Structure 1
Amino acid sequence: MRHPNIVEFEVWGDYGLFAEPILRVGGEKCTYQVPTYETLKGILSSVYWKPTLIWYIDAVRVMNQIQTEVKGIRPIHYNDSRNDLSYYTYLKNCRYQVRAHFEWNENRPELAKDRNENKHHEIAKRMITKGGRRDIFLGTRECQGYVAPCVFGEGEGFYDSLAELSFGLMYHGITYADEAYSTQTQAAMTAHFWYPVMKNGVISFLRPESCPLHKRLGDMRMKVFGADTGNFSGLREFGEVT
């Protein structure tokens, strides 16, 4: 199904680090070969996001050759001010085309008056043209990224002629409490895992609820918006979030 509010953009940067969350606790980090669903969703949320909507990443196209580079890093300890020498494995010369769309967040009925599809779609496209509302990072803060509009599928990609490439079991993303889609994901953080396959340079993403493996990470409360909560105090007066 092709949604009417689709956005297409290109994101690129000198380096990227798309690591499994368990590797982010400390020590040495090693990137996946391709960006995760959660990373691309985070990039798009940095471009434009409102609690009224949920972004869904439909597909990513890998434009440049997958290459890695190992760097010596001196991360600071979590429990004191000392540091150690660690080796981080980054992707280099990253460039991707992304197609995504948004749907209304049914967990937020208090924001129903803000469900103006044309408004959010036009703002999102303008923000992509402007390079995003917030800084763009390719997986981690030291990997600065940039975005610009594109037509998904245009231009030559390095893997256009590669029929199929599988990446094995891979982290997909996290469903937070405010984006719950079932009773099992309500009031919880739920991680999803899947088996991505790249076909002619394109990875088509499953929706979070369609992933074959799920893991409940813990309890989580959903933040409620409204004038009586102190969040978006003008919500009732203006009838929408601006």
Structure 2
Amino acid sequence: MNSFKLKVSGRRALFSRPEMKVERVSYDVMTPSAARGVLEAIHWKPQMVWRIERIRVLNQIRFESIRRNEVGSKIPAGKIASAMRAQSTDGLALYVDEDRQQRASTLLKEVAYIIEARVELSAKGRADPSESVQKHLEMARRRAAKGQYFHHPYLGTREFACDFELWEGEAPAPHDSLQGERDLGWMVLDVDYAPGMEAKFFRAVMKDGVIEIPASGDAGIVS
């Protein structure tokens, strides 16, 4: 069966809303792109892609506000290219103490989700007869069951690392506060990293704690 379920949880999470510029404000729930990032941290190969089918919210949605230190600038790409050509690192220093900015962030607290996804072969995988969906599913299940990953999965931003476990069987009942239907508004589905970095959005609706995730080509997806 082409199905993979992973439970993730953490003390804090930040799934940033793109319409908020300076201040960091989280969506109410995990986004599909963040869910895919968690799965790719555990298992990913160029021959396959993860397709998120649904996200199950398990805990009550709660927010908290904190202030975080961030660096206010970055080294320009042009300087990096020049340094590579000159084989010198002169001028590439970034002094954090001189460029630190404190910004308010609205985070989620004590979160838990079950990510339900499937594996599809990429163009590269379909061209290779040795590749199969089942092969990658079994590899992902073994790695998740053993707690293995390429880099530690996180919930939106790298400072909020998450715990994870392979989930088998029925999903647990969501918190009572999640019963019923809730319109979560427009949510980022994915980002096209071609020139322009165009984001795709969908109208997220949560029913009894479950958010169904459309495919990128489905009706109702907007850029």
Q: Quickly name the TM-score band, shorter chain normalised.
A: 0.7 to 0.9
1: CA distance, partners of 2:125 / 2:7: 33
What is the Cα deviation at residue 131 of structure 1? 2.3
2:31 is the alignment partner of 1:36: yes
* Residue from 7, 10, 21 that aligns with 1:10: 7
Instruction: Quote the RMSD (CA, aligned, Å).
Output: 2.3
Name the structure 2 match of 1:200: 208
What is the Cα deviation at residue 176 of structure 1? 4.2
Structure 1 residues 143 and 124: CA distance shift in structure 2, 3 A: same
What is the Cα deviation at residue 118 of structure 1? 2.6
2: CA distance, partners of 1:31 / 1:160: 19
User: How many pairs align?
Assistant: 200
2:161 is the alignment partner of 1:144: yes
Tell me which moved more, 58-67 or 165-174: 165-174
1: CA distance, partners of 2:131 / 2:125: 10
Contact preservation (8 Å) 2:8, 2:114: yes
Contact preservation (8 Å) 1:56, 1:102: yes
2:117 is the alignment partner of 1:88: no
Name the structure 2 match of 1:232: none
1: CA distance, partners of 2:193 / 2:100: 32
Structure 1 residues 95 and 55: CA distance shift in structure 2, 3 A: same
* Residue from 50, 60, 77 that aligns with 1:55: 50
2: CA distance, partners of 1:161 / 1:73: 29
Structure 1 residues 73 and 172: CA distance shift in structure 2, 3 A: same
2: CA distance, partners of 1:188 / 1:111: 29
Q: Any unmatched runs of 5+ in structure 2?
A: 75-93
* Residue from 145, 163, 177 that aligns with 2:180: 163
Name the structure 1 match of 2:83: none
Structure 1 counterpart of 2:4, one-letter code: V
Structure 2 counterpart of 1:34, one-letter code: V
Q: TM-score, normalised by structure 2?
A: 0.81
Structure 1 residues 29 and 115: CA distance shift in structure 2, 3 A: same
Does the residue aligned with 1:115 lie in a helix, a strand or coil? Answer: coil
1: CA distance, partners of 2:220 / 2:187: 11
2:60 is the alignment partner of 1:65: yes
Name the structure 1 match of 2:16: 19
2: CA distance, partners of 1:110 / 1:63: 36
1: CA distance, partners of 2:218 / 2:126: 27
Q: TM-score, normalised by structure 1?
A: 0.75
Q: Any unmatched runs of 5+ in structure 1?
A: 178-186, 216-242
What is the Cα deviation at residue 22 of structure 1? 5.6
Contact preservation (8 Å) 1:30, 1:88: yes
Structure 2 counterpart of 1:148, one-letter code: E
Once the two structures are superposed, residues 37-94 of structure 1 have per-residue CA deviations (whole angstroms, 9 ceiling, x without a partner) of: 1000111011100110110011111000000111111212115632222111110001
* Residue from 130, 136, 140 that aligns with 1:124: 140
Structure 1 residues 27 and 13: CA distance shift in structure 2, 3 A: same
Structure 1 counterpart of 2:113, one-letter code: Y
Contact preservation (8 Å) 1:63, 1:159: no
Contact preservation (8 Å) 2:6, 2:165: yes
Using CA pairs under 8 Å that are at least 6 residues apart, name the structure with larger relative contact order, 1 or 2: 2
2: CA distance, partners of 1:194 / 1:129: 32
Contact preservation (8 Å) 1:193, 1:211: no
1: CA distance, partners of 2:153 / 2:58: 18
